[in-house]
Structure 1
């Protein structure tokens, strides 16, 4: 490994978060529990943002950047072995939110930001596609929205608040984490 190679994320890091979730007495209505899950999600989004920054700065080429994103995706989206069903569902929600983040990062690296349409238009199109039960199209629209977010366009929060609960709202939640990570890619401390 050369000096220039960075480690963006590790299986150990993800496992540390999972161990914390397993140990905590989680209540999604409780602010501390919600923060732990959000930190878990944000920590992953920050790692993705750092890969995108390294790509934009020329420290990673296209192939290296897509491999780094794929490595994190493989770690984070692997089946989680948590006996507590409720905690497993909460982790699944975090994983679902991050699916769009990974595809967005890969799309941005390979194709750059979407050239047409605003973030709001893509989110609206995704919500409409989900209403028609076309989940693949919904994800595709949000990936395009995500590439615009990476490029600096803001996710309109009023639009987000109006979304029905479902895949689109979960994926937009992930894009919100990515937007925050792009703005401030500081590591979330695991012991916060």
Structure 2
């Protein structure tokens, strides 16, 4: 028997305790930037996993919305609750860790905007991703940050809707907000290419 909307909303899709557990893991990692040519994938894995955990929670919300088990209003409220937790200001840990968390949170701004855009159906399903990216970069160059974020959100909504993110599209983006937001969109694409168990998964009752 399927859950009612009230039952679904009583579950925790993401909790502050879960976020604090990740912050503790970050502290324990003792992450530092190293001046070497060696990749730091192992050292930075905790930040990647932390971001993926948030994205999967959002994908679970969207899965409930897609199945019409919850309304758009409820889905947006759940995404907003996750966003409030993930974007809260973090007390100083270390300069390097603070920088990594700040970068991740900037990426997540693009991620959350994409989920909101998808749920609101505020995007053109026939739009071309390269065109939207060009418009985002032009808006950022003109310091129209809200427009830039809106264009990135539309790209993310297309990805959530099933569009593939072109492999080469992230290669030549100049560093800036759009580049960081697009990292968040890339993380959505990567999460959706992995296991699709989130589509049938329940909200998390434990952290």
TM-score scaled by length of structure 2: 0.83
C-alpha displacement of 1:27:
3.4
Q: Say if 2:94 is the partner of 1:84.
A: yes
Match of 1:12 among 9, 17, 29: 17
Match of 1:105 among 110, 115, 119: 115
C-alpha displacement of 1:4:
3.7
Tell me the residue number matched to 1:36: 46
Higher RCO, 1 vs 2 (CA within 8 Å, ≥6 residues apart): 2
Summarize the Cα distance change of 1:2–1:75 in structure 2 as closer, same or farther, 3 Å threshold.
Answer: same
Match of 1:66 among 76, 84, 88: 76
Question: What is the CA RMSD across the aligned residues, in angstroms?
Answer: 1.9
Deviation beyond 6 Å, 4+ runs, structure 1: none
Q: Say if 2:59 is the partner of 1:54.
A: no
Distance between the aligned counterparts of 1:40 and 1:59, measured in 2?
A: 27
Secondary structure at the aligned position of 1:45 is classed as helix
Match of 1:154 among 164, 177, 186: 164
State the aligned residue count: 187
Distance between the aligned counterparts of 1:162 and 1:56, measured in 2?
A: 34
User: Could you list the runs of 5+ residues in structure 2 that have no partner in the other structure?
Assistant: 34-38, 199-207
User: Could you list the runs of 5+ residues in structure 1 that have no partner in the other structure?
Assistant: 188-192
Q: Is the 8 A contact 2:52 2:187 kept in 1?
A: yes
C-alpha displacement of 1:25:
2.1
Whichever of the two has the greater Rg, that structure is 2
Tell me the residue number matched to 1:121: 131
Q: Is the 8 A contact 1:114 1:145 kept in 2?
A: no
Distance between the aligned counterparts of 1:50 and 1:180, measured in 2?
A: 15
Distance between the aligned counterparts of 1:166 and 1:186, measured in 2?
A: 33
Q: Is the 8 A contact 1:46 1:181 kept in 2?
A: yes
Tell me the residue number matched to 1:163: 173
Distance between the aligned counterparts of 1:181 and 1:52, measured in 2?
A: 13
Q: Deviations over 1:4-47 (max 9, x none)?
A: 44321111111111111111121355111222211111111111
Distance between the aligned counterparts of 2:143 and 2:8, measured in 1?
A: 45
Q: Say if 2:156 is the partner of 1:141.
A: no
